[in-house]
Amino acid sequence: MYERYYGILSHILINVGIYGKLNTSTVKLAKALGSTQQTISRKLIEMGNLGLIKREVNVNGVSLQLDCKGLNILKNQYRIMKTGFETRVKSIKGEVRSGLGEGRYYVSLPGYMEQFKKRVGFKPFPGTLNFFVEDYERMMFFLQNLEEIFITGFKTKERTYGSIRTFKAKIDNLKAAVVIPERARHPKGIFEIIAQHNLRNKLKLKDNDKVVITC
C-alpha cells in the first residue's frame, strides 16, 4: 500500500535522519528522485494526510519530517531488507496471468523504449508477460538480488508518464527484466516482465502455467 512512498521516506531519512527536518522544494525532490514536480506535490499531500510525514509549506519551499507512521514503515522495510540480504533468494516461481493490454502500449512508447535499449541492454518486445507470485515478501527478497535500473519518466503534449523500476532477470535462460511502473495499478502479487521475445509464444505459455524467474 505504501510502496510508492518509499523513495520520499528514504530520501528524508538519508538526508536528515530519524528526527531531523528536511528543508527542500518539490522541484529539488523531483530532480533527486527522478520524478515530476506534480507527482511529488501530490505524494507529499497524500503522505501528510496519511500520517507518514509532517509537512510545512514555507516561503522557501517545504519542510519535511518523518512522522511515527512513516518511521515505522521504514523500520519494517529495514527488517525485511536485512532478512533479504541475509537470505539470498536466487529464483522465484509464479503463475502466468492475463493482463489488460496496457504493457504493450507503454513499452512501445519511444520515451521508454529507447531507455530500455540503452540501459537494460535489449529492445523489448512491445508487450509484457504478467505473472502472479503468492509469496509477495519472497518476491521482494528476490528483487533485492537483481541489478536495478531506473527508467525515468517523461512528458508529451498530451500527458506525463511516470518512472519505472527495472530489475534484470532471466526466464528459461532468456534475458528479461521485471518492471514495476511508478503508477502500477495491478493487484498485489502481480508483476510484469519484458524480454526481446513474445514470451507467451516463445515459451508456449498460457494462463496459470508456472514460470520460474532467476537471477
- Binned average pLDDT, 10 residues per bin, the chain of 215 residues: 89 93 94 93 95 93 94 88 72 92 88 95 95 91 89 90 94 95 84 96 96 95
H or E stretch covering 19:
none
CATH code where residue 48 lies: 1.10.10.10
Both 105 and 164 in a single domain? yes
CB neighbour list of residue 183: distance below 8 Å, 6 or more residues apart:
162
Does residue 147 sit within a domain?
yes
User: What is the per-residue pLDDT for 80?
Assistant: 76
Instruction: Show the domain range for 145.
Output: 88-214
Does residue 81 sit within a domain?
no
User: Could you tell me if 5 and 45 are in contact, meaning their C-beta atoms sit under 8 angstroms apart?
Assistant: no
Does residue 154 sit within a domain?
yes
Does residue 168 sit within a domain?
yes
User: What is the per-residue pLDDT for 131?
Assistant: 96
Task: Select from 26, 42, 72 the last residue of a domain.
Answer: 72
Task: Select from 48, 72, 96 the last residue of a domain.
Answer: 72
Both 103 and 194 in a single domain? yes
Distance CA 170, CA 204 (A): 16
* C-alpha grid cell, residue 81: 531488507
